[in-house]
Structure 1
Amino acid sequence: MPPEVEALVQGQLTSGKYQNALEVILAGIKLLEQQEDIYQGQLQDLQQEARIGWEASRRGEVVDGSIAMAQIRANVRSLPPQASRALRCFRRSMTSEGDREMGRCSDAKKN
C-alpha cells in the first residue's frame, strides 16, 4: 500500500474502531458501495426529471427564463430567515471563495 494509505489504515487501527487492516479496508469498500448507490439513485432521479421537463417542453408547457427567475426569487423572499441564511451560505459556497465562506456559514450555525 502507498504510505498515505498505510497511515490512514494505521490511524483507524490506533483509534480502536477496527481490529485489523482488513476490517478498515472492508469498511472503506462498504462506504464506496453506499456512495455509488446514492449516486445511481440521484442520477436516475435527474434523468427522470429531465424526461419530465423534455416531455413538458414538447407539449409547450414551458416558462420563459425571466419569469421562472422571478418566481424563484419570490419563493426565496418568502422563505423563513433561517432558510434564507442557509441558501445564502450555499450560494456563497459556489463562488471561488467557497471554502472560506462555508467555514463562516458553519461557524454561524453553531452560534
Structure 2
Amino acid sequence: MNVNLTPQLEEMVRAKVTSGMYTSASEVVREALRLMGEQDRLKEAKVEELRREVKRGLESGPSEPWDVAAIKKKARAKAAA
C-alpha cells in the first residue's frame, strides 16, 4: 500500500524515525493508526455512556417544574447555617 502524506506529516514521520523512537516509517504509521483506533473506541464508549444516561433520564419519569428563587433561597439558608 502506498500512502501520500503532506510535507508536514512526512517530516513528522522522518523526525520520529530519526529520533530513534521508531525503526521505520511503517512502524510510525502503524502506531498512529493504532492510536486512532483507540481514540475511536473511546469516543464510541463516551457516546454509549451518553445514550445510557439519556435513556435513564427519560425513564426516570416526567419532568417537574422548578422554582429558581426557591432553590436559591434554600441554598442561601443552608450556607448561612
The one-character-per-residue Cα deviations of 1:14-67 (angstroms, maximum 9, x if unpaired) are 1101000000000000000000000000000000000111111xx236573738
* 2:16 is equivalent to residue 12 of structure 1: yes
Equivalent residues in 2 for 1:67-78 (5 A)? none
**Residue 64 of structure 2 corresponds to residue 52 of structure 1:** no
Taking a change above 3 Å as real, the CA distance of residues 61 and 20 of structure 1, as seen in their structure-2 partners, is: same
Work out the CA distance in 2 between the residues paired with 1:6 and 1:17: 16
Aligned: 1:38 with 2:33: no
What TM-score do the two structures reach when normalised by structure 2? 0.72
Greater helix proportion: 1
Cα root mean square deviation, aligned: 2.8
The match for 1:91 is none
Q: Which runs of 5+ in 2 are unaligned?
A: 76-81
In the alignment, the residues of structure 2 paired with residue 23 and residue 30 of structure 1 have an alpha-carbon distance, to the nearest angstrom, of 10
1:74-98 alpha-carbon deviations (Å, 9 max, x no partner): xxxxxxxxxxxxxxxxxxxxxxxxx
Alignment of 1:83-102 (within 5 A): none
Which of 23, 26, 44 pairs up with 2:30? 26
Identity of aligned residues (%): 24
Pair 1:65–1:37, CA change in 2 (3 A)? farther
In 2 relative to 1, CA 44–62 (structure 1 residues): closer, same or farther, beyond 3 Å? farther
TM-score normalised by L of structure 1? 0.54
The one of the two structures with greater contact order (alpha-carbon pairs below 8 A, sep at least 6) is 2
Letter of the aligned partner of 1:4 in structure 2?
Q
Greater gyration radius: 2
Larger deviation: 19-28 or 1-10? Answer: 1-10
